[in-house]
Structure 1
Amino acid sequence: MDRDRSKDASEGIAPMGIQALNETVLSNQPESRYECPVCLNWLRDPVITTCGHKFCKSCITSWLQNSGHCPIDNINLSMKVDIFPDNYTKREIQEQRMNCPFSTKGCTVKVTPLDLDAHIAACEFNQPETSTQPEIKVPCSFQAVGCKDLFDSQEEMNQHVETDVQKHMSLLMNAYSEMKINNDMSNASIDAKEQEAMTLWEAPDKDGNQAASAPLNNTSALIRALYERVVVLEQRNREQDIVIANMSKQLSAFTIAKMKQNNDMLLRYCMGNYVWKIDNFKARLDAMLRDPYKMLYSPGFYTSPNGYRFCVRLNISPMNRHCFALHVHLMKTENDDCLDWPFNGRISFAMINQYNPELSQKDTMMSNSSLIAFRKPTAEICMRGFGYTEYAVVSDVIRNGFVKDDVLIVRVSIKALYERVVVLEQRNREQDIVIANMSKQLSAFTIAKMKQNNDMLLRYCMGNYVWKIDNFKARLDAMLRDPYKMLYSPGFYTSPNGYRFCVRLNISPMNRHCFALHVHLMKTENDDCLDWPFNGRISFAMINQYNPELSQKDTMMSNSSLIAFRKPTAEICMRGFGYTEYAVVSDVIRNGFVKDDVLIVRVSIKCV
């Protein structure tokens, strides 16, 4: 079925007023992206759900009061946490302009879709046509399919059509079924799909014009109206495409093939907030009581996607066999050379009372930069931990409601000092939508290609991007030969729906012995929703891979008067911001910045 023709039908778009519809009214029908799936009219006070569908606020409110599920995909929804205003769509609808249905009588007014009804009621050309015929009863528009109701006025008939939708749909479906049976019996030699097309659609001629056909009777017109409405409803596939597109923008089509991959993703993107559920706890406790060297370790989790990695250790205290010891340990990651050492931040423990959460045991401590436990780890797990040697009494944990269904829950929150601002900035509605979608839908996806994975990391790096330039010597030779040769990093985001930047490295035109290093703003689908010009802090670090302490680090603030920070009009803003003489080429080559033919540049961009 051709979706593109669903809005081009010449009659029967809606049951009301089928005989009176003209080209002006038909042209005023909403596009599918502006149409409420419940009332099938223009979206009024549009809202969007966490599953990606759009509705009128009043429609979805009434629907959820009776159902509690999404009308499209039947997912459980709550008005308090799953429904959000869609101001972008609201602005788009308000920018639409439509002709008055009485334009053929001389009205030249163009109004927004939502103001059309009010204009029609007050339009000076909305005058009843005079008639010399005696007053007669107005039959229902669905008289041909069995509705026998008669009315004194057109307004009463219109109200009847609006209120008795279920009755009329039932009559239409019965008529359609009866017509299909007759057609099948009389055209048994013709394919069913071909017969359906011949009955309800006329093929265009070679010039693209609709071929002439015999006039349809009332029944055929109504059946055709139903069929076209079914076409509109069948655009759910299009809605699904929109959902997939939204998820690809938010998650970059990030998918998971196995539960292990799902857990790894949650651990990397938990932002330092990890809930450790220790199942089969009584058996594990018995093992620890029998063996004093028996210890339980949680999976490794990250303070940010490219940040520090920690795990939690629970064991019987060697100082007091009646108590639990609880510690955190730093773990090795691929980005350790790009991080600041020793770790500096706040660590919070909470052993959850599952029968009365108010009785949960909560403790907070600050890191100590003088301890080995917070230095850069040299092994997979740092041997030195940091925490409490006597955190909780074993008997109290067993008796006082901390263990339920043989599960003990320990919640850990680790925040690096420089990440606290990021966490606070994430407390907005956009991030709530992203987190809700990730928590509900993350388990439904799988990773198909490395490119999709990279796109995900770029969108959710929170402005912290590590650019690894491989095959560097060959690229450097090319830049030295060609003064216009430049290297650009992939585009990365300051937040999932925030600003997008890329980094440019090239030989300085001012000094051929130096590198120039700049950032450029890039175009995104959310630019209209962002504040311009960009205002924030930009940090560069060219990493010394043999001695990270010798890395070259620089920080600068944006300048709102520069074109470089205005809303980009091209895919990449032509104006960049940075250093025209950032580092001497020979120093970069000789002093340990290049290892295994790879140069690493770390960029951190934070909105202010």
Structure 2
Amino acid sequence: MESSESLTPVTGRRLPMQRSESTGSSPGELEPRFECPICLKCLDRPVLTSCGHRFCSDCIQKWLQKNRGCCPIDGRALDGSRDLFPDNYTRREIDQLSVVCSYPGCRIAMPLLAYDRHVSETHDQFEKSEPFLFCPFKNIGCLYQFKNPSQLNMHVEKLSHHHLQLLANSFEVLSMKVPGNVVSKEIEAMSWDPPPKEGSPTTESSVQALLKSLYERIVTLEQRNAEHELQMRLMSDELKRLRPKSDGELGLRACNGEYTWTVPDIENKVKRILMAGKRADELSSILLYSEGFYSSFNGYKFCAKIHVLPSQKPHLSLHIHLMSGEKDDFLPWPFTGKIAFTLVHPTHSALTVREVVCSRPDLKAFQRPIDLMNKRGFGYDQFVLLSDLADKRYFTADGSLRIRIQVDVF
């Protein structure tokens, strides 16, 4: 049986699990984990404090200078040179995010961090400047001017008939300037099948020529369709090859280190151990592993483990193990980051048990796995009493437990 490095929970440090919902890419719906608590904008060069909070680098430095080195969130003493660490993982996440400008008439896509600058330099300054937007049909006689894009868009939609009339007039003027034979040749070239001229074949021959032309067109279209079908099959095969083995595996790769483990049918096993009392040693232990999940799509791979040994006062132990992943050659070792263990109460969030720990590079549990899974785990040998699981009703209606593991890479 593998051994594990463990920590003993400290009473009073357990906090209710904080729930947050991910939002879309609209600038007005910034995810809370990407928002600086000081300036309330997207994190710029994010740093992580020793007490586990994220801020913009400039914001927290200025705050510490003005507030005697206290954390804005929990008031803990912070040293700007020792207690602030660059949060490169969050910075990479923000760099990969893009948004679309929500200003009326402006749908420019840009990196998330560039949005505030875009609004201040483009739209805020635009409101103060003189009118300079012209109708796109200015060259053919529409001389309207507008102060913002929304007015321009409304003008184009409502005066389409006027613009068509201007186009018709311009075409008429242009045709008068161009020699007639040139215009007639262009019109003839655009026509699909010109009428027969003098000396053309008989009507029957014309029909045969038309049928031949149609047949040739059908053959050409069928050849193109066959080529497109072949390309689609090749693309479909390539997509199947590149796609993960199953949708479930795709979800485990894209969970970004936030994995919820529903442990089924465990209530009856726990109750049997509790009812055995002094005879508990006669029962077999409980040892269960979760699926493997990833810290990012190409990141570290982990699994969670719960273990119960029958005893006079049995506890549920909770650990995390590193597993061999496909991209281990490209990752820095040993693993460094923060791990949160959460036992979710199904009805009362105040009873949710949450413990947060940081990795220790000196432990074997965080070295690169040699086998399928690192035999050393890290976590808590006595995470919660089995009697508390039953008395405080942590089990769901179907007798399951819900455990959440969150991994943040430094």
Shorter-chain TM-score bucket reads 0.3 to 0.5
Between the two structures, name the one with larger relative contact order (CA 8 Å, sep ≥ 6): 2
> Structure 1 length normalisation: TM-score?
0.30
> Structure 2 length normalisation: TM-score?
0.43
